[in-house]
Amino acid sequence: GPAVGMGVGQALLVLLAACAVMPAKDPLLNVCMDAKHHKTKPGPEGMLHDQCAPWKDNACCTANTTAEAHRDQSNLYNFNWNHCGLMPPKCKRHFIQDTCLYECSPNLGPWIDQTDSSWRRERILHVPLCKEDCEEWWEDCKDYATCKENWHKGWNWATGTNRCPWGSMCRPFSHVFPRPKDLCEKIWSNSYKYTTEHRGSGLCIQMWFDPAQGNPNAVVAKYYAWKKRDSTALTETVTPKTNKAECALPWSVLVLLPLVLV
């Protein structure tokens, strides 16, 4: 009878209202990767050291991690920047910012990828870096020397810290990485992707930012998360686990909808 219709109609309306009010949490946004020093969830930190300070309102790193990130021989990964002589401060600044972004940013979700390394279960892959970030990094480091193109692997760790592998020569950065694109993409095995997008475009990740202006990378992550979902939705026949999926109504219910809402 009509009472049943009313009941179903009201139930549907409640369901639809709930869907409108409570979108599912996007698993690609505001997350920390599963890696050696990362927190499980991003959150505020009282004080982050020096160049990692912009992330203090919402960070995946702890203050201790950021202090270590600034040391020449840090306990984070026992990595030695000065493997081909002393790295100049203007160059080192970019490597510290790169470490801060990697350890602290909660906005790298769309590029988190599974890995089976001994020290982390997840890594970042093809993060679209702003043109200026790549170019300034290259410009400030081009006169420093290194013996390797990919700094992720292939070092001699016999002494407990990375040394140049036997037989490799120290050569100027500009020979090892002829263009900014080479530096950004090859140094950490494609963690970054060189783009021609500019800072502030909303289409590329900034390695560093002025905290007074807010974090520009949050909106970039949102855009790429949406893009990723969109392409997944097109290629998958199964409904992807997104806001839509949380609120997907069964077909039988959708057919009844016009009747019960009359």
Tens of pLDDT, residue by residue over 154-164, are 888 888 888 89
In angstroms, the CA 15 to CA 259 distance is 16
Summarize pLDDT for 200-234 with one digit per residue, the tens: 888 999 988 888 888 888 889 898 888 877 766 55
**Residue 62 · residue 104 · CB < 8 Å:** no
Average confidence (pLDDT) over 75-81: 72
Q: Given this model, what pLDDT does residue 72 score? A: 62
- Is it the case that residue 107 has pLDDT exceeding 50? yes
DSSP run (H or E) holding 146 = strand 145-146
Task: State the pLDDT at residue 30.
Answer: 79
Q: What does each C-alpha distance from 155 to 78, 109, 173, 225, 231 come to in angstroms?
A: 12, 29, 17, 35, 38
pTM of the model as a whole: 0.72
d(C-alpha 248, C-alpha 239), whole Å: 9
Q: Tell me the mean pLDDT in the region 81-107.
A: 89
pLDDT at 256 (0 to 100): 55
Dihedral angle over CA of 27, 220, 89, 190, nearest 10: 70
- For the stretch 114-124, pLDDT in tens is 777 666 677 78
